[in-house]
Chain A
Amino acid sequence: MNDLNTAAPKVAGKPPASKKAPEDVLVHLNESSLIPGDTATISAWNISFFGAIALLVGLPLFRPTPFLEILKFVPDGLTATFTVTLCSIFLALVLGLLAGLGRIARTTIINRVATVYVEVVRGIPLLVQLFYIYYALGPLLHLNGLSSAILALSVCYGAYLGEIFRAGIQSIPKGQMEAALALGMSRTQALWRIILPQTVKVVLPPTGNEFIALLKDSSLVSILAVSDLLRRGREYASTTFNYLEAYTVVALIYLVMTLFFSRLVGLMEERLRTHGRKHN
Protein backbone atom coordinates (compact mmCIF):
# COMPACT_ATOMS: atom_id res chain seq x y z
CA MET A 1 0.00 0.00 0.00
CA ASN A 2 2.90 2.33 0.80
CA ASP A 3 4.33 1.69 -2.61
CA LEU A 4 1.07 2.50 -4.27
CA ASN A 5 0.62 5.66 -2.24
CA THR A 6 3.83 7.05 -3.58
CA ALA A 7 3.59 5.61 -7.04
CA ALA A 8 0.04 6.50 -7.85
CA PRO A 9 0.33 10.31 -7.87
CA LYS A 10 3.32 10.06 -10.18
CA VAL A 11 1.22 8.24 -12.72
CA ALA A 12 -1.53 10.79 -12.36
CA GLY A 13 0.98 13.51 -13.08
CA LYS A 14 0.09 15.71 -10.13
CA PRO A 15 0.75 15.63 -6.41
CA PRO A 16 -2.06 14.48 -4.17
CA ALA A 17 -4.20 17.38 -3.10
CA SER A 18 -5.39 15.57 -0.01
CA LYS A 19 -5.00 12.24 1.68
CA LYS A 20 -7.87 10.93 -0.37
CA ALA A 21 -6.34 11.68 -3.71
CA PRO A 22 -4.22 8.53 -4.10
CA GLU A 23 -7.27 6.34 -3.70
CA ASP A 24 -9.06 8.21 -6.46
CA VAL A 25 -6.10 7.61 -8.67
CA LEU A 26 -6.03 3.96 -7.74
CA VAL A 27 -9.55 3.55 -9.02
CA HIS A 28 -8.39 4.81 -12.39
CA LEU A 29 -5.34 2.62 -12.37
CA ASN A 30 -7.42 -0.46 -11.77
CA GLU A 31 -9.55 0.40 -14.76
CA SER A 32 -7.39 -1.56 -17.14
CA SER A 33 -9.83 -1.90 -20.03
CA LEU A 34 -8.85 0.06 -23.12
CA ILE A 35 -12.39 0.81 -24.21
CA PRO A 36 -14.66 2.17 -21.51
CA GLY A 37 -17.72 0.01 -20.96
CA ASP A 38 -20.95 1.45 -22.32
CA THR A 39 -22.83 1.07 -19.06
CA ALA A 40 -23.88 4.68 -18.47
CA THR A 41 -27.56 5.62 -18.48
CA ILE A 42 -26.90 8.05 -21.33
CA SER A 43 -25.30 5.37 -23.47
CA ALA A 44 -25.55 5.49 -27.24
CA TRP A 45 -27.92 2.55 -27.17
CA ASN A 46 -30.24 4.19 -24.64
CA ILE A 47 -30.31 7.46 -26.59
CA SER A 48 -31.16 5.69 -29.84
CA PHE A 49 -33.62 3.17 -28.46
CA PHE A 50 -35.61 5.37 -26.12
CA GLY A 51 -35.30 8.32 -28.48
CA ALA A 52 -36.90 6.27 -31.25
CA ILE A 53 -39.66 5.09 -28.93
CA ALA A 54 -40.27 8.63 -27.71
CA LEU A 55 -40.62 9.81 -31.29
CA LEU A 56 -42.94 6.92 -32.19
CA VAL A 57 -45.17 7.84 -29.25
CA GLY A 58 -44.73 11.61 -29.32
CA LEU A 59 -45.24 12.33 -33.01
CA PRO A 60 -48.72 10.71 -33.22
CA LEU A 61 -49.67 12.45 -29.98
CA PHE A 62 -48.75 15.93 -31.13
CA ARG A 63 -49.53 15.53 -34.83
CA PRO A 64 -52.19 12.82 -35.15
CA THR A 65 -52.52 13.55 -38.87
CA PRO A 66 -50.65 12.05 -40.54
CA PHE A 67 -48.57 10.23 -37.90
CA LEU A 68 -51.39 8.39 -36.14
CA GLU A 69 -52.76 7.32 -39.53
CA ILE A 70 -49.37 6.06 -40.58
CA LEU A 71 -48.94 4.21 -37.33
CA LYS A 72 -52.29 2.49 -37.87
CA PHE A 73 -51.56 1.69 -41.52
CA VAL A 74 -47.94 0.58 -41.58
CA PRO A 75 -47.64 -2.12 -38.88
CA ASP A 76 -49.72 -4.55 -40.97
CA GLY A 77 -46.45 -5.02 -42.81
CA LEU A 78 -44.80 -6.36 -39.66
CA THR A 79 -46.48 -9.73 -40.24
CA ALA A 80 -44.83 -10.06 -43.63
CA THR A 81 -41.50 -8.73 -42.33
CA PHE A 82 -41.44 -11.26 -39.50
CA THR A 83 -42.73 -14.14 -41.62
CA VAL A 84 -39.95 -13.53 -44.13
CA THR A 85 -37.31 -13.03 -41.42
CA LEU A 86 -38.19 -16.03 -39.27
CA CYS A 87 -38.74 -18.49 -42.14
CA SER A 88 -35.53 -17.32 -43.80
CA ILE A 89 -33.37 -17.52 -40.69
CA PHE A 90 -34.65 -21.02 -39.98
CA LEU A 91 -33.91 -22.26 -43.50
CA ALA A 92 -30.63 -20.35 -43.52
CA LEU A 93 -29.56 -22.10 -40.30
CA VAL A 94 -30.19 -25.48 -41.90
CA LEU A 95 -28.40 -24.49 -45.11
CA GLY A 96 -25.61 -22.85 -43.13
CA LEU A 97 -25.01 -25.95 -41.01
CA LEU A 98 -24.89 -28.09 -44.15
CA ALA A 99 -22.57 -25.62 -45.87
CA GLY A 100 -20.34 -25.29 -42.79
CA LEU A 101 -20.05 -29.06 -42.39
CA GLY A 102 -19.54 -29.40 -46.14
CA ARG A 103 -16.70 -26.90 -46.05
CA ILE A 104 -14.80 -29.04 -43.54
CA ALA A 105 -15.79 -32.37 -45.12
CA ARG A 106 -12.99 -34.63 -46.25
CA THR A 107 -14.96 -35.97 -49.20
CA THR A 108 -13.76 -33.80 -52.06
CA ILE A 109 -17.06 -33.60 -53.90
CA ILE A 110 -19.03 -32.49 -50.83
CA ASN A 111 -16.34 -30.00 -50.01
CA ARG A 112 -16.39 -28.55 -53.55
CA VAL A 113 -20.17 -28.30 -53.67
CA ALA A 114 -20.27 -26.45 -50.34
CA THR A 115 -17.37 -24.15 -51.26
CA VAL A 116 -18.80 -23.29 -54.68
CA TYR A 117 -22.17 -22.55 -53.09
CA VAL A 118 -20.59 -20.21 -50.58
CA GLU A 119 -18.36 -18.49 -53.14
CA VAL A 120 -21.10 -18.01 -55.74
CA VAL A 121 -23.75 -16.78 -53.37
CA ARG A 122 -21.43 -14.41 -51.54
CA GLY A 123 -20.29 -12.98 -54.85
CA ILE A 124 -23.73 -11.92 -56.07
CA PRO A 125 -25.59 -8.99 -54.54
CA LEU A 126 -28.66 -9.97 -52.57
CA LEU A 127 -30.85 -7.70 -54.67
CA VAL A 128 -29.72 -9.45 -57.83
CA GLN A 129 -30.42 -12.82 -56.22
CA LEU A 130 -33.91 -11.64 -55.30
CA PHE A 131 -34.61 -10.49 -58.87
CA TYR A 132 -33.13 -13.68 -60.23
CA ILE A 133 -35.26 -15.98 -58.12
CA TYR A 134 -38.47 -13.96 -58.45
CA TYR A 135 -38.36 -12.81 -62.07
CA ALA A 136 -36.11 -15.41 -63.72
CA LEU A 137 -36.87 -18.57 -61.79
CA GLY A 138 -40.21 -17.62 -60.25
CA PRO A 139 -42.33 -18.35 -63.33
CA LEU A 140 -40.58 -21.69 -63.85
CA LEU A 141 -40.89 -22.81 -60.24
CA HIS A 142 -44.27 -21.18 -59.69
CA LEU A 143 -43.02 -19.08 -56.81
CA ASN A 144 -44.98 -16.13 -55.50
CA GLY A 145 -43.37 -13.05 -54.04
CA LEU A 146 -43.29 -14.30 -50.46
CA SER A 147 -41.76 -17.70 -51.21
CA SER A 148 -39.26 -16.16 -53.65
CA ALA A 149 -38.22 -13.74 -50.95
CA ILE A 150 -37.81 -16.47 -48.34
CA LEU A 151 -35.89 -18.66 -50.77
CA ALA A 152 -33.54 -15.88 -51.83
CA LEU A 153 -32.81 -14.71 -48.29
CA SER A 154 -32.31 -18.28 -47.04
CA VAL A 155 -29.89 -19.14 -49.82
CA CYS A 156 -27.98 -15.92 -49.32
CA TYR A 157 -27.77 -16.03 -45.52
CA GLY A 158 -27.16 -19.77 -45.57
CA ALA A 159 -23.85 -19.03 -47.26
CA TYR A 160 -22.87 -16.40 -44.72
CA LEU A 161 -23.91 -18.61 -41.81
CA GLY A 162 -21.99 -21.47 -43.42
CA GLU A 163 -18.82 -19.41 -43.15
CA ILE A 164 -19.60 -18.53 -39.53
CA PHE A 165 -20.17 -22.21 -38.68
CA ARG A 166 -17.02 -23.27 -40.52
CA ALA A 167 -14.94 -20.72 -38.63
CA GLY A 168 -16.64 -21.76 -35.38
CA ILE A 169 -15.91 -25.44 -35.93
CA GLN A 170 -12.32 -24.69 -36.88
CA SER A 171 -11.84 -22.55 -33.78
CA ILE A 172 -12.18 -25.65 -31.60
CA PRO A 173 -8.65 -26.89 -30.77
CA LYS A 174 -7.46 -29.84 -32.84
CA GLY A 175 -6.74 -31.78 -29.65
CA GLN A 176 -10.48 -32.15 -29.01
CA MET A 177 -11.00 -34.17 -32.18
CA GLU A 178 -7.82 -36.16 -31.52
CA ALA A 179 -8.87 -37.01 -27.98
CA ALA A 180 -12.28 -38.15 -29.22
CA LEU A 181 -10.79 -40.27 -32.01
CA ALA A 182 -8.22 -41.76 -29.66
CA LEU A 183 -11.10 -42.96 -27.48
CA GLY A 184 -12.50 -44.88 -30.43
CA MET A 185 -15.24 -42.46 -31.46
CA SER A 186 -16.09 -42.13 -35.14
CA ARG A 187 -15.61 -38.73 -36.77
CA THR A 188 -19.39 -38.31 -36.80
CA GLN A 189 -19.68 -39.10 -33.09
CA ALA A 190 -16.82 -36.75 -32.32
CA LEU A 191 -18.44 -34.01 -34.37
CA TRP A 192 -21.87 -34.27 -32.75
CA ARG A 193 -20.77 -35.05 -29.19
CA ILE A 194 -17.58 -33.03 -28.85
CA ILE A 195 -17.07 -30.43 -31.55
CA LEU A 196 -20.53 -29.04 -32.32
CA PRO A 197 -21.63 -28.51 -28.69
CA GLN A 198 -18.55 -26.34 -28.22
CA THR A 199 -19.12 -24.61 -31.54
CA VAL A 200 -22.62 -23.48 -30.56
CA LYS A 201 -21.19 -21.26 -27.86
CA VAL A 202 -18.80 -19.65 -30.29
CA VAL A 203 -21.26 -19.04 -33.11
CA LEU A 204 -24.29 -17.87 -31.12
CA PRO A 205 -23.38 -14.16 -31.05
CA PRO A 206 -22.41 -13.86 -34.75
CA THR A 207 -25.51 -15.85 -35.68
CA GLY A 208 -27.60 -13.38 -33.69
CA ASN A 209 -26.00 -10.56 -35.64
CA GLU A 210 -26.83 -12.29 -38.92
CA PHE A 211 -30.42 -12.53 -37.74
CA ILE A 212 -30.48 -8.76 -37.23
CA ALA A 213 -28.90 -8.17 -40.63
CA LEU A 214 -31.51 -10.45 -42.17
CA LEU A 215 -34.30 -8.54 -40.46
CA LYS A 216 -33.03 -5.37 -42.10
CA ASP A 217 -32.43 -6.98 -45.48
CA SER A 218 -35.96 -8.35 -45.44
CA SER A 219 -36.98 -4.82 -46.45
CA LEU A 220 -35.60 -5.62 -49.92
CA VAL A 221 -38.55 -7.93 -50.50
CA SER A 222 -40.85 -4.91 -50.71
CA ILE A 223 -39.87 -4.69 -54.38
CA LEU A 224 -41.30 -8.17 -54.97
CA ALA A 225 -44.80 -6.96 -54.14
CA VAL A 226 -44.59 -8.45 -50.65
CA SER A 227 -46.48 -6.17 -48.27
CA ASP A 228 -43.80 -5.83 -45.65
CA LEU A 229 -43.14 -2.87 -43.40
CA LEU A 230 -41.35 -0.80 -46.04
CA ARG A 231 -43.92 -1.61 -48.73
CA ARG A 232 -46.75 -0.48 -46.44
CA GLY A 233 -44.93 2.77 -45.83
CA ARG A 234 -44.55 3.26 -49.57
CA GLU A 235 -48.20 2.43 -50.19
CA TYR A 236 -49.26 5.01 -47.64
CA ALA A 237 -46.91 7.65 -49.00
CA SER A 238 -47.91 7.16 -52.61
CA THR A 239 -51.55 7.90 -51.84
CA THR A 240 -51.02 10.81 -49.45
CA PHE A 241 -47.64 12.16 -50.64
CA ASN A 242 -46.48 12.28 -47.00
CA TYR A 243 -43.13 10.71 -47.89
CA LEU A 244 -41.11 12.29 -45.09
CA GLU A 245 -43.58 11.26 -42.40
CA ALA A 246 -44.21 7.73 -43.71
CA TYR A 247 -40.57 6.80 -44.13
CA THR A 248 -39.67 8.40 -40.78
CA VAL A 249 -42.09 6.04 -39.05
CA VAL A 250 -40.84 3.05 -41.06
CA ALA A 251 -37.23 3.86 -40.21
CA LEU A 252 -38.05 4.31 -36.52
CA ILE A 253 -39.84 0.96 -36.33
CA TYR A 254 -36.87 -0.83 -37.93
CA LEU A 255 -34.53 0.99 -35.56
CA VAL A 256 -36.47 -0.03 -32.46
CA MET A 257 -36.54 -3.66 -33.59
CA THR A 258 -32.88 -3.94 -34.50
CA LEU A 259 -31.73 -2.13 -31.38
CA PHE A 260 -33.88 -4.43 -29.28
CA PHE A 261 -32.43 -7.54 -30.88
CA SER A 262 -28.87 -6.27 -30.79
CA ARG A 263 -29.26 -5.73 -27.06
CA LEU A 264 -30.50 -9.32 -26.77
CA VAL A 265 -27.43 -10.55 -28.65
CA GLY A 266 -25.25 -8.42 -26.37
CA LEU A 267 -26.83 -9.94 -23.26
CA MET A 268 -26.38 -13.41 -24.71
CA GLU A 269 -22.71 -12.71 -25.34
CA GLU A 270 -22.34 -11.42 -21.80
CA ARG A 271 -24.00 -14.53 -20.37
CA LEU A 272 -21.81 -16.85 -22.40
CA ARG A 273 -18.74 -15.04 -21.19
CA THR A 274 -19.69 -15.03 -17.51
CA HIS A 275 -20.82 -18.64 -17.78
CA GLY A 276 -17.31 -19.50 -18.93
CA ARG A 277 -15.79 -17.47 -16.11
CA LYS A 278 -18.00 -18.99 -13.44
CA HIS A 279 -15.91 -22.13 -13.39
CA ASN A 280 -12.61 -20.43 -12.69
Chain B
Amino acid sequence: MAESIIRIKQARKSFGKVQALRGVDMEVARGEVILIVGPSGSGKSTLLRSVNRLERLTSGEVWIEDDCVTSPHADIRKIREEVGMVFQSFNLFPHLSVTENIALAPTIVRGETPAVGLQRAAALLERVGLSDKAHAYPEQLSGGQQQRVAIARALAMQPKIMLFDEPTSALDPEMIKEVLDVMLDLAKEGMTMLVVSHEMGFARAAADRVVFMDEGMVVEEGKPEDLFANPKEERTKRFLEHIL
Protein backbone atom coordinates (compact mmCIF):
# COMPACT_ATOMS: atom_id res chain seq x y z
CA MET B 1 0.00 0.00 0.00
CA ALA B 2 1.16 3.48 -0.80
CA GLU B 3 2.12 5.96 1.87
CA SER B 4 -0.77 6.79 4.22
CA ILE B 5 -2.16 10.28 4.16
CA ILE B 6 -4.49 9.74 7.15
CA ARG B 7 -3.65 7.58 10.13
CA ILE B 8 -6.14 7.07 12.94
CA LYS B 9 -4.85 5.29 16.03
CA GLN B 10 -7.08 3.92 18.76
CA ALA B 11 -9.64 6.69 18.38
CA ARG B 12 -12.01 6.87 21.34
CA LYS B 13 -14.77 9.34 21.96
CA SER B 14 -17.36 9.48 24.71
CA PHE B 15 -20.32 11.80 24.99
CA GLY B 16 -21.00 11.53 28.70
CA LYS B 17 -21.67 7.85 29.26
CA VAL B 18 -22.20 7.07 25.60
CA GLN B 19 -19.14 5.71 23.87
CA ALA B 20 -19.34 6.84 20.25
CA LEU B 21 -15.92 5.48 19.29
CA ARG B 22 -14.31 2.56 21.07
CA GLY B 23 -10.83 2.28 19.66
CA VAL B 24 -10.82 2.73 15.90
CA ASP B 25 -7.66 2.25 13.81
CA MET B 26 -7.65 3.27 10.20
CA GLU B 27 -5.11 4.11 7.54
CA VAL B 28 -6.00 5.87 4.34
CA ALA B 29 -3.63 5.87 1.41
CA ARG B 30 -3.20 8.88 -0.84
CA GLY B 31 -5.88 8.84 -3.51
CA GLU B 32 -7.91 6.18 -1.79
CA VAL B 33 -11.70 6.39 -1.70
CA ILE B 34 -13.23 4.87 1.39
CA LEU B 35 -16.89 4.42 2.11
CA ILE B 36 -17.87 4.13 5.76
CA VAL B 37 -21.16 2.36 6.34
CA GLY B 38 -22.99 1.27 9.46
CA PRO B 39 -26.22 1.69 11.39
CA SER B 40 -27.05 5.07 12.88
CA GLY B 41 -25.21 5.66 16.10
CA SER B 42 -22.33 3.45 15.04
CA GLY B 43 -19.87 6.34 15.27
CA LYS B 44 -19.20 6.85 11.57
CA SER B 45 -19.92 10.57 11.57
CA THR B 46 -17.99 11.06 14.80
CA LEU B 47 -15.00 9.32 13.23
CA LEU B 48 -15.21 11.48 10.13
CA ARG B 49 -15.57 14.66 12.16
CA SER B 50 -12.56 13.81 14.27
CA VAL B 51 -10.36 13.89 11.17
CA ASN B 52 -10.61 17.70 10.97
CA ARG B 53 -11.24 17.98 14.72
CA LEU B 54 -14.79 19.23 14.52
CA GLU B 55 -15.07 16.54 17.17
CA ARG B 56 -12.26 16.20 19.70
CA LEU B 57 -11.32 12.65 20.55
CA THR B 58 -11.34 11.57 24.19
CA SER B 59 -8.17 9.60 23.47
CA GLY B 60 -6.24 8.32 20.50
CA GLU B 61 -4.50 10.09 17.69
CA VAL B 62 -5.28 11.31 14.20
CA TRP B 63 -2.42 12.12 11.85
CA ILE B 64 -2.66 13.81 8.51
CA GLU B 65 0.69 13.37 6.78
CA ASP B 66 3.16 14.70 9.35
CA ASP B 67 0.69 16.71 11.39
CA CYS B 68 -0.90 15.35 14.51
CA VAL B 69 -4.47 16.68 14.38
CA THR B 70 -5.22 15.64 17.95
CA SER B 71 -2.20 17.39 19.46
CA PRO B 72 -3.13 20.48 21.45
CA HIS B 73 -0.26 22.27 19.69
CA ALA B 74 -1.52 21.46 16.22
CA ASP B 75 -2.14 24.40 13.91
CA ILE B 76 -5.64 23.14 13.29
CA ARG B 77 -6.54 25.93 10.90
CA LYS B 78 -3.64 25.06 8.61
CA ILE B 79 -4.68 21.42 8.71
CA ARG B 80 -8.33 22.23 7.99
CA GLU B 81 -7.29 24.22 4.91
CA GLU B 82 -6.12 20.92 3.44
CA VAL B 83 -9.22 18.96 4.40
CA GLY B 84 -12.49 19.81 2.66
CA MET B 85 -15.75 18.81 4.24
CA VAL B 86 -19.26 18.35 2.85
CA PHE B 87 -22.19 18.12 5.26
CA GLN B 88 -25.50 16.34 5.16
CA SER B 89 -27.36 19.65 5.52
CA PHE B 90 -25.12 21.51 3.00
CA ASN B 91 -24.52 24.41 5.42
CA LEU B 92 -24.12 26.97 2.68
CA PHE B 93 -23.92 30.54 3.95
CA PRO B 94 -27.42 31.90 3.24
CA HIS B 95 -26.42 35.58 3.27
CA LEU B 96 -23.84 35.11 0.53
CA SER B 97 -24.35 34.40 -3.16
CA VAL B 98 -23.17 31.13 -4.64
CA THR B 99 -19.99 32.75 -5.94
CA GLU B 100 -19.31 34.45 -2.61
CA ASN B 101 -19.85 31.18 -0.79
CA ILE B 102 -17.09 29.62 -2.87
CA ALA B 103 -14.69 32.56 -3.04
CA LEU B 104 -14.85 33.66 0.62
CA ALA B 105 -12.55 31.12 2.24
CA PRO B 106 -9.78 31.28 -0.39
CA THR B 107 -9.63 35.06 -0.01
CA ILE B 108 -9.86 35.43 3.76
CA VAL B 109 -8.13 32.20 4.79
CA ARG B 110 -5.56 31.66 2.06
CA GLY B 111 -5.16 35.35 1.32
CA GLU B 112 -5.80 35.01 -2.40
CA THR B 113 -6.80 38.16 -4.26
CA PRO B 114 -10.54 38.57 -4.89
CA ALA B 115 -9.86 38.20 -8.62
CA VAL B 116 -8.29 34.79 -8.11
CA GLY B 117 -11.13 33.80 -5.79
CA LEU B 118 -13.78 34.76 -8.32
CA GLN B 119 -11.93 33.03 -11.13
CA ARG B 120 -11.66 29.85 -9.14
CA ALA B 121 -15.33 30.05 -8.16
CA ALA B 122 -16.31 30.35 -11.82
CA ALA B 123 -14.15 27.38 -12.77
CA LEU B 124 -15.54 25.23 -9.96
CA LEU B 125 -19.11 26.18 -10.78
CA GLU B 126 -18.56 25.09 -14.33
CA ARG B 127 -17.13 21.84 -13.07
CA VAL B 128 -20.21 21.09 -10.95
CA GLY B 129 -22.46 22.28 -13.78
CA LEU B 130 -23.90 25.35 -12.08
CA SER B 131 -22.36 28.26 -13.98
CA ASP B 132 -25.81 29.75 -14.50
CA LYS B 133 -26.36 29.96 -10.74
CA ALA B 134 -23.27 32.03 -9.96
CA HIS B 135 -25.29 34.97 -8.64
CA ALA B 136 -28.12 33.01 -7.06
CA TYR B 137 -28.53 32.69 -3.31
CA PRO B 138 -28.57 29.28 -1.62
CA GLU B 139 -32.30 29.35 -0.87
CA GLN B 140 -33.03 29.72 -4.58
CA LEU B 141 -31.36 26.38 -5.30
CA SER B 142 -32.62 22.81 -5.03
CA GLY B 143 -31.01 20.51 -2.48
CA GLY B 144 -28.90 18.81 -5.11
CA GLN B 145 -27.68 22.13 -6.46
CA GLN B 146 -26.87 23.34 -2.94
CA GLN B 147 -24.84 20.25 -2.26
CA ARG B 148 -22.91 20.68 -5.51
CA VAL B 149 -22.14 24.26 -4.50
CA ALA B 150 -21.03 22.97 -1.10
CA ILE B 151 -18.62 20.58 -2.83
CA ALA B 152 -17.32 23.41 -4.99
CA ARG B 153 -16.89 25.54 -1.87
CA ALA B 154 -14.78 22.86 -0.22
CA LEU B 155 -12.74 22.31 -3.39
CA ALA B 156 -11.98 26.02 -3.65
CA MET B 157 -9.46 25.58 -0.83
CA GLN B 158 -7.70 23.00 -3.03
CA PRO B 159 -7.72 20.35 -0.32
CA LYS B 160 -5.76 17.11 -0.35
CA ILE B 161 -8.54 15.23 1.38
CA MET B 162 -12.32 15.46 1.11
CA LEU B 163 -14.66 14.32 3.87
CA PHE B 164 -18.31 13.65 3.00
CA ASP B 165 -20.74 13.30 5.90
CA GLU B 166 -23.87 11.65 4.47
CA PRO B 167 -23.84 13.99 1.46
CA THR B 168 -26.99 12.58 -0.14
CA SER B 169 -29.12 11.73 2.89
CA ALA B 170 -31.04 14.98 2.85
CA LEU B 171 -31.76 14.84 -0.88
CA ASP B 172 -34.75 13.76 -2.88
CA PRO B 173 -34.00 10.60 -4.89
CA GLU B 174 -33.89 12.38 -8.24
CA MET B 175 -31.22 14.76 -6.97
CA ILE B 176 -28.89 12.15 -5.54
CA LYS B 177 -27.42 11.25 -8.90
CA GLU B 178 -26.25 14.77 -9.75
CA VAL B 179 -24.29 14.91 -6.48
CA LEU B 180 -22.88 11.41 -6.85
CA ASP B 181 -21.74 12.22 -10.39
CA VAL B 182 -19.66 15.11 -9.07
CA MET B 183 -18.21 12.83 -6.40
CA LEU B 184 -17.42 10.15 -8.95
CA ASP B 185 -15.49 12.65 -11.08
CA LEU B 186 -13.58 13.69 -8.01
CA ALA B 187 -12.72 10.10 -7.19
CA LYS B 188 -11.51 9.49 -10.76
CA GLU B 189 -9.22 12.48 -10.51
CA GLY B 190 -7.47 10.83 -7.61
CA MET B 191 -8.85 12.78 -4.65
CA THR B 192 -8.50 11.11 -1.28
CA MET B 193 -12.06 10.71 -0.08
CA LEU B 194 -13.65 9.55 3.14
CA VAL B 195 -17.36 9.14 2.60
CA VAL B 196 -19.99 8.30 5.19
CA SER B 197 -22.90 7.13 3.07
CA HIS B 198 -25.09 4.20 2.22
CA GLU B 199 -24.91 4.76 -1.53
CA MET B 200 -23.93 1.28 -2.61
CA GLY B 201 -23.89 2.27 -6.26
CA PHE B 202 -21.24 4.84 -5.51
CA ALA B 203 -19.31 2.27 -3.47
CA ARG B 204 -19.24 -0.20 -6.37
CA ALA B 205 -18.30 2.46 -8.89
CA ALA B 206 -15.67 4.38 -6.99
CA ALA B 207 -14.75 3.02 -3.57
CA ASP B 208 -11.45 1.25 -3.05
CA ARG B 209 -12.57 0.04 0.33
CA VAL B 210 -15.75 -0.20 2.34
CA VAL B 211 -15.53 -0.03 6.12
CA PHE B 212 -18.41 -1.36 8.16
CA MET B 213 -18.75 0.15 11.61
CA ASP B 214 -21.02 -0.81 14.48
CA GLU B 215 -21.11 0.32 18.11
CA GLY B 216 -18.07 2.53 17.78
CA MET B 217 -15.79 -0.09 16.23
CA VAL B 218 -14.72 -1.23 12.80
CA VAL B 219 -16.36 -4.60 12.39
CA GLU B 220 -15.16 -5.49 8.93
CA GLU B 221 -13.63 -3.91 5.88
CA GLY B 222 -12.77 -4.91 2.35
CA LYS B 223 -13.19 -4.18 -1.33
CA PRO B 224 -16.80 -3.30 -2.08
CA GLU B 225 -17.47 -6.33 -4.25
CA ASP B 226 -16.02 -8.70 -1.61
CA LEU B 227 -17.70 -7.10 1.38
CA PHE B 228 -21.10 -6.90 -0.27
CA ALA B 229 -20.95 -10.40 -1.73
CA ASN B 230 -19.29 -12.31 1.12
CA PRO B 231 -19.53 -10.52 4.44
CA LYS B 232 -17.74 -12.55 7.09
CA GLU B 233 -19.32 -11.12 10.19
CA GLU B 234 -22.89 -11.80 11.23
CA ARG B 235 -23.52 -8.14 12.05
CA THR B 236 -22.32 -7.05 8.59
CA LYS B 237 -24.64 -9.56 6.95
CA ARG B 238 -27.64 -8.34 8.91
CA PHE B 239 -26.87 -4.73 8.12
CA LEU B 240 -26.30 -5.32 4.43
CA GLU B 241 -29.62 -7.17 4.16
CA HIS B 242 -31.30 -3.91 5.11
CA ILE B 243 -29.61 -1.64 2.61
CA LEU B 244 -28.77 -3.76 -0.44
Contact = CB atoms under 8 A, between A and B. Distances in A.
Q: How large is the interface on B (under 10, 10 to 19, 20 to 34, 35 or more residues)?
A: 20 to 34
Given A189-B109, A193-B104, A184 B93 contact: no
A194 B94 CA distance: 9
Interface stretch (B19-27, B81-89, B206-214, B230-238): B81-89
A193 to B, nearest CB: 7
A1 interface: no
Interface in B80-102: 80-81, 83-85, 87, 89, 91-95
A186 B139 CA distance: 26
Contacts of A197: 95
Given A178-B87, A189-B109, A183 B153 contact: yes
B139 A183 contact: no
Interface string A164-186: 00000000010110111111111
Given A182-B83, A280-B139, A189 B93 contact: no
Nearest to B81: A184
Given A178-B87, A181-B54, A182-B83, A279 B137 contact: yes
Contacts of B92: 179
B108 A176 contact: no
A209 interface: no
B78 interface: yes
Contacts of B91: 173, 175-176, 178-179
Contacts of A258: none
A183 B87 contact: no
Nearest to B141: A279
Interface in A179-216: 179-186, 189, 193-194, 197-198, 201
B139 A279 contact: yes
A16 to B, nearest CB: 40
A185 B139 contact: no
Nearest to B92: A179
B108 A182 contact: no
A183 B157 contact: yes
A180 B109 CA distance: 10
23 contacts: A173-B91, A175-B87, A175-B91, A178-B54, A178-B91, A179-B87, A179-B92, A179-B150, A182-B80, A182-B83, A182-B154, A183-B80, A183-B81, A183-B104, A183-B105, A183-B109, A183-B154, A184-B81, A185-B109, A189-B108, A198-B95, A201-B95, A276-B139
